[in-house]
Amino acid sequence: MSVLAIRDLTLSFRLWSGPVEVLHGISLSIARGERVALVGESGSGKSVTARIVLGLLQDQSGARIGGRVEFQGRNLSGMSARERRALRGRDISMIFQDPTSSLNPVFRIGGQFREVLARATPGISDTKARATATGLLEEVAIHDPARVLDSYPFQLSGGMNQRVMIAMALANRPSLLLADEPGTALDVTVQAQTLDLMRTLVDDHGTSVLFISHNLGVVREFADRVYVIYRGRIVEEGPTRAVFEHPGHPYTRALMAAQPNLTGGGLPRIPERDPSFLAPLVVHGDRT
């Protein structure tokens, strides 16, 4: 059974100027322990998809959501806001783009960690929480957990905060981890390290990951399977290798060609928009 199954998801917002369709019926699924990437440019609808999976858009007035989002076989839209809130931080967790601003600047890491743990274990004792947090920080290769737990986020480097975020996100052993452009705000060397770290950890815990990104290189290295999203539609899906080595959709091909290569090759001439980008879905075989 899939951990996450999205069927024909549509989303539109009612604005002053009239309704705006953001998602035109996207479908995707993530199996247990699978790392799936949703790749697209800004405005493609990748981030709102993540927000819907987190249950954050369902209660927003003006947002109309259609289709089904099933998490471990349970329909998210059928749940109450309270039930969805209970899932967040326990069964579904999230890592954001900028680690430093997603931690609360006025509380120490230790206190914020305790709150995360308390979502799964209400009333967890301070000593217990600290011991658990220490173990989790060691897992993300933080060698002096005691100092980190006593620090405020601004006293730590961006890379350190990112590790803390990863440790927190995995603290309650969630079944699904949503990673929205993780590490984009970090330096490349730090980004590479945190991605390696994240991959090892989710492998160890068998966590499924929905990885939202615009960076083809990062996706290529991290994901098992890729969905390419363009203006609210999935245009191509398949195993990462197949999609990257034999991109079938004109839009995917344009994305690949536009990506500057480390080996050179010059600057390609590629249109920003093209009618062919709206061509029908291309699916690569050997799906799991």
The contact set with other proteins (CB under 8 A) reads 16-17, 41-42, 158, 187-192, 195-196, 214-218, 220-221, 244-245, 254-272
The CA-to-CA distance between both ends of the chain, in Å, stands at 11
CB of 178 to other proteins, least distance (A): 19
**Shortest distance, position 92 Cβ to other proteins, whole Å:** 26
Q: Which is nearer to other proteins, 29 or 44 (CB)?
A: 44
Nearest CB to other proteins, comparing residues 106 and 188: 188
Nearer to other proteins, 1 or 267 (CB): 267
Long-range contacts of 196-205 (CB under 8 A, 24+ apart): 197/140, 197/141, 197/163, 197/166, 198/95, 198/166, 198/222, 199/35, 201/139, 201/140, 201/166, 201/170, 202/33, 202/35, 202/170, 202/177, 203/33, 205/170, 205/173
Q: Contact, 172 vs 90, CB < 8 A?
A: yes
Q: How far is the CB of 262 from other proteins (least distance, A)?
A: 5
- Give the sign of the dihedral formed by CA 148, CA 93, CA 10, CA 280: positive
C-alpha distance from residue 279 to each of 252, 263, 282 (Å): 11, 30, 9
Question: Closest distance between other proteins and the C-beta of residue 72, in Å?
Answer: 31
User: Shortest Cβ distance from residue 208 to other proteins (Å)?
Assistant: 21
User: Nearest approach, Cβ of 120 to other proteins (angstroms)?
Assistant: 33
CB hemisphere CA count around 182 (13 angstroms): 30
CA dist 191 → 33, 64, 184, 218 (Å): 22, 36, 7, 9
